[in-house]
Structure 1
Amino acid sequence: MSTRSFTRIASRLSIPRSQSRTTIPFVRTYVTPTSTKSGAAALAQQPQHHDEVDAMPAPVRTAAQWADFGRDHVSHGLGRLRDHVVVKGEGLDLYTAEGKKLLDFTAGIGVTNLGHCHPTVSQAAAAQINTLVHLQCSIAFHAPYLQLIERLLPIMPHPSLDQFFFWNSGSEANEAAIKVARKATGRQNIIVFQGAYHGRTMGSGAMTRSKPIYTQGSGPLMPGVFASAYPYWHSLGVNPSTSEEELVRLAKHQLDLVLRQQTNPSDVAAIFIEPVQGEGGYVPCPPAFMHHLREVCDKHGIVLVVDEVQTGFFRTGKYFAIDHISPSFRPDIMVFAKGVANGFPISGIVSNKELMGALDVGSMGGTYAGNAVACAAGIAAQDVYASGEIETNVEARSEQLYVTLNRLATSPKTRHLIADVRGVGLMAAVEFRSAADDLTHEGLPEGTTIPKNIGKRVQDYCLDKDLLVLTTSCFDTIRFIPALVVSEEQMSRAMKIVTEAVEKVALEG
């Protein structure tokens, strides 16, 4: 797709055309590092509430002072890539208080699928704010809640998925899925997979098996959770070149052992799985293994829960990742969040009437669950997805992305650094080799020296060039998760920086 063609698409989708602007937008009271304005003078540049100007002058801080303030007062348990203070987002561009313009290939970890502040979504939210901001969902229906369900019903991956519950975050939605599965089956145990990420709360955290940092020192967590091997060469202790058929065979065997040795199937309420593991390293699950899970669950009366928190809403090129499996594939519960409302906090579960009907009235709820403004944003986001242009752009830009990543994996200059390139759509990853991990040494000539901390060094170079990228997994992996409206020029610019970064690490050793 040419840049000119994408500009026409962007116009129809209301994608901000100013993504390529080099000017820095006006920053209100965030001010630049050289500002010496008084609080009252800075406040005068903002929309005025004249009766409050003299009584409530706004404090003015430089960018460095804001960063110091954050380090002092934001929980030590919250990490950051850098101490930038971001004051504006537009499309794939982020602007900082010190005047930097960053190309964002993180999309808020897969949340702003339509780019920062997409006009269609933001305008819908603004309109809703002037109509109804909040109605607690246990008091009455509100229109945006029902209208969002109306918009989601036709795009569900299976017609049996027709009852919804909205919450705020992916973790909470997975907690809701646990409750439904346990109540409907009368069983307690849960099976998850090595590398899984389902959240950081006490229930969802117990099901997370990607890194111990998310729950270390905070146990005991929810009991009754068992982990089996995901069909991924690291989980199974085999080489990266192992065939998909063999990975599925080995993973099926490991699941069978869990059901023979660790928990009787009659005690298992649910099996939770991500169709593409997120924090586990952006590892797609082979369709054959997903079909096997469906058979196991049907045989033993187990609820199959598919976690599409990160993979949903065209992240993988289709509405949901399980749409790649087959039109007939049926989860019992599907969990979604992130891209549903392009940055407004809403998540949900969807199931069938039989499972949802097992719940006691009043057992589900939450103060902000299904907030009216977030629902309105979700409705508007579905309008943009429905155009079909997002799906087309994901196909074109993902092809552009994988050409670069595969070129790095085969180049004589850089192939000794890369163990694996994988992903689906605009959910892609490069796993680097590690001197301490023999599985990643496959294909290396004897005596090859593997540099240390490849992924972190590549990420740091990208950050120095104002490109935001994220690592993932307990293995040395960088993921690429830009907004789905990324242009050809932006992808080209990002891939140039990534190529330079990998080649620089290869040269330095």
Structure 2
Amino acid sequence: MGKRLVPFVGGLRMKFEDYQPYLSPALAKATDLIAISGKGCYLTDSKGDRYLDFVQGIAVNALGHCHPKVVEAIKTQAGKLITASFNVVNYPTTLELAKRLAEVTPGELNSVFFSNGGAEAIDGALKLAKAYTKRPAIIAFQGSFHGRSFGALSVTGSNAYYRKYYEPMVGSVYFTAYPSTDLCPKGFNEEQRTEYCLNELDRLFQNLVAPDQVAAIIMEPVQGEGGYVVPSKAFVQEIRERCDQYGILLIMDEIQSGYGRTGKMFASEHFDVVPDIMTVGKAIAGGLPMSAVISTQVIMAEWRSGMHGTTFGGNPICAAAALAVLDEFKQSCLLEHVNEEGAYLRNRLVRLQKKYSCISDVRGLGLMLAIEFSHPDGSPAGDLLEAVRAACLKNRLLTLSCGVHHNGMRFATPLNVTNDEIDQGIAIIESVLDQLYAQ
């Protein structure tokens, strides 16, 4: 692990700083690594150094880097047709993918609009909800992250910096509390957080926006950037009940939590709740850019021809890769593997928590897990997290942060990760914490 494999990969002697002037600084760069190749859980950079990748394109590579079946599907389709625009012609791969998605989605969610990325899918879902209900307002949650396009940013509540200089946002968006420890009164237990947040929603209906003016409530069944926060089952079911009571559509953003990440195909299944509209993305196409808005045929019928559109959505190569991903889910019993490895990773993280007092929480579902760092006085230790992440990078482990206070480390391993790969990553984190405590 971390061994330099070759002096220079492909003869390249590239340095990021030589190219940085040509790139907009708007895209935040977590590292200056130049990735040349990837296989499974590992990335190799232009210096020939190999990294254990617990980021995986931000939870995109469900099967790890360059899974052979995904690569073969891409090659085969690319040799036939790259694109002709799905709004002009139909592709066999994309038609088959729509059918296959309908087979794995819950309830009557069997009508699909393909897009290219998560934010684009969110914008589509918001438009669909308004088109169907003919209502103007949207309710979102504090701590949420849905993307950075204007529509998606308007329902994102995890970081004010994302919204800086962009006001006014899309109108008639209202935020309410999500039942995380960071967003509720200090000391509240799960039941109290649930009651508090439901009361906040009811006060919103009473004081700010009449429920018959609300087109949709949009929520992540497990918050992603907000800290991998898992709400209580009662909370999610009560949100569903309020939507039913007032004729409000429930949009579940499953872009990060869906596609097996939590041990079920979609995280909403943990709560026995079926949304009216669901967005998926990230892991859907094995690393290629693809997303989708999925709803019922009845709701989709109000999204009439020309009311939404795309040039690249439903690309046949992306669809071919997505079919290979679904094949692997079935053939490899991937969900069972996620639950087994998720339990193993959680156990390893709990052991870390017992050993290091700076780790104040372990939370999540399946392989959507996170640890939280806190100072001795209980305050968020974002500074410690960044020190840990920097040291992990030096030790050839790529990690990802999360949390409204930027003090969480989330684990986005491939869904087919092994015990050995988990052990390697935990050993690096443990070594780093030992070094930091020794200073």
The TM-score with structure 2 as length reference comes to 0.96
| Cα distance in 2, alignment partners of residues 147 and 402 from structure 1 | 36
The CA deviation at 1:21 is: 9.3
User: How far does the alpha carbon of each residue in 1:40-72 deviate from its partner, in whole angstroms, 9 at most, with x for none?
Assistant: xxxxxxxxxxxxxxxxxxxxxx222xx123311
The CA deviation at 1:392 is: 2.7
The CA deviation at 1:389 is: 3.0
SS of residue matched to 2:48:
coil
Matching of residue 389 in structure 1 with residue 333 in structure 2: yes
The structure 1 residue matched to 2:415, chosen from 480, 484, 488, is 484
| Cα distance in 2, alignment partners of residues 21 and 425 from structure 1 | 30
SS of residue matched to 2:241:
helix
| Cα distance in 1, alignment partners of residues 184 and 190 from structure 2 | 12
The structure 1 residue matched to 2:168, chosen from 220, 237, 244, is 220
| Cα distance in 1, alignment partners of residues 114 and 105 from structure 2 | 15
| Cα distance in 2, alignment partners of residues 163 and 248 from structure 1 | 32
Judging changes above 3 Å, is the alpha-carbon distance between structure 1 residues 24 and 296 closer, same or farther for their aligned structure 2 residues?
farther
2:9 is matched with 27
Matching of residue 453 in structure 1 with residue 383 in structure 2: yes
The CA deviation at 1:287 is: 1.4
The CA deviation at 1:211 is: 1.1
Matching of residue 118 in structure 1 with residue 67 in structure 2: yes
1:235 is matched with 183
Matching of residue 292 in structure 1 with residue 222 in structure 2: no
| Cα distance in 2, alignment partners of residues 119 and 302 from structure 1 | 43
1:177 is matched with 125
User: How far does the alpha carbon of each residue in 1:160-187 deviate from its partner, in whole angstroms, 9 at most, with x for none?
Assistant: 1111100000000000001110011111
| Cα distance in 1, alignment partners of residues 365 and 35 from structure 2 | 29
1:156 is matched with 105
Q: Quick check: 1:434–1:452 contact (8 Å CA) kept in 2?
A: no
| Cα distance in 2, alignment partners of residues 495 and 317 from structure 1 | 21
Q: Which runs of 4 or more aligned residues in structure 1 lie more than 4 Å from their structure 2 counterparts after TM superposition?
A: 19-22
| Cα distance in 2, alignment partners of residues 344 and 451 from structure 1 | 35
The structure 2 residue matched to 1:357, chosen from 293, 296, 301, is 301
Letter in 2 for 1:375: A
2:143 is matched with 195
The structure 1 residue matched to 2:374, chosen from 433, 439, 456, is 433
| Cα distance in 2, alignment partners of residues 126 and 175 from structure 1 | 31
| Cα distance in 1, alignment partners of residues 409 and 307 from structure 2 | 40
Matching of residue 505 in structure 1 with residue 436 in structure 2: yes
1:35 is matched with none
Letter in 1 for 2:14: A
| Cα distance in 1, alignment partners of residues 174 and 287 from structure 2 | 32
SS of residue matched to 2:183:
helix
1:209 is matched with 157
2:314 is matched with 370
Letter in 2 for 1:294: R
User: How far does the alpha carbon of each residue in 1:385-411 deviate from its partner, in whole angstroms, 9 at most, with x for none?
Assistant: 112432232222222211222122222
The CA deviation at 1:504 is: 2.8
Structure 2: segments with no counterpart, 5+ residues = none
Q: Percent identity?
A: 34
Q: Quick check: 1:170–1:199 contact (8 Å CA) kept in 2?
A: yes
Larger Rg: 1
| Cα distance in 1, alignment partners of residues 2 and 77 from structure 2 | 30
The CA deviation at 1:341 is: 0.7
Q: Quick check: 1:24–1:95 contact (8 Å CA) kept in 2?
A: no
Judging changes above 3 Å, is the alpha-carbon distance between structure 1 residues 269 and 434 closer, same or farther for their aligned structure 2 residues?
farther
Q: Which is further off, 259-268 or 166-175? A: 259-268
1:53 is matched with none
Judging changes above 3 Å, is the alpha-carbon distance between structure 1 residues 392 and 22 closer, same or farther for their aligned structure 2 residues?
farther
**How many pairs are equivalent?**
438
Matching of residue 71 in structure 1 with residue 71 in structure 2: no
Q: Quick check: 1:335–1:350 contact (8 Å CA) kept in 2?
A: yes
The CA deviation at 1:250 is: 1.1
SS of residue matched to 1:95:
strand
The structure 2 residue matched to 1:464, chosen from 394, 398, 408, is 394
Superposed CA RMSD: 1.9
The structure 2 residue matched to 1:410, chosen from 326, 335, 354, is 354
| Cα distance in 1, alignment partners of residues 52 and 127 from structure 2 | 40
The CA deviation at 1:243 is: 2.9
The structure 1 residue matched to 2:201, chosen from 255, 264, 268, is 255
Q: Quick check: 2:364–2:370 contact (8 Å CA) kept in 1?
A: yes
The CA deviation at 1:136 is: 1.4
Letter in 1 for 2:90: F
| Cα distance in 2, alignment partners of residues 493 and 184 from structure 1 | 50
The CA deviation at 1:452 is: 7.1
1:84 is matched with 33
Letter in 1 for 2:42: D
| Cα distance in 1, alignment partners of residues 163 and 412 from structure 2 | 25
| Cα distance in 2, alignment partners of residues 115 and 75 from structure 1 | 28
| Cα distance in 2, alignment partners of residues 220 and 244 from structure 1 | 35
The CA deviation at 1:141 is: 2.1
The CA deviation at 1:498 is: 1.1
User: How far does the alpha carbon of each residue in 1:335-381 deviate from its partner, in whole angstroms, 9 at most, with x for none?
Assistant: 00011111111100111111111122111211101111101111111
| Cα distance in 2, alignment partners of residues 173 and 363 from structure 1 | 14
Matching of residue 339 in structure 1 with residue 283 in structure 2: yes
2:403 is matched with 473
Q: Quick check: 1:166–1:349 contact (8 Å CA) kept in 2?
A: yes
Q: Quick check: 1:190–1:224 contact (8 Å CA) kept in 2?
A: yes
| Cα distance in 1, alignment partners of residues 325 and 338 from structure 2 | 16
The CA deviation at 1:451 is: 7.0
The CA deviation at 1:132 is: 1.5
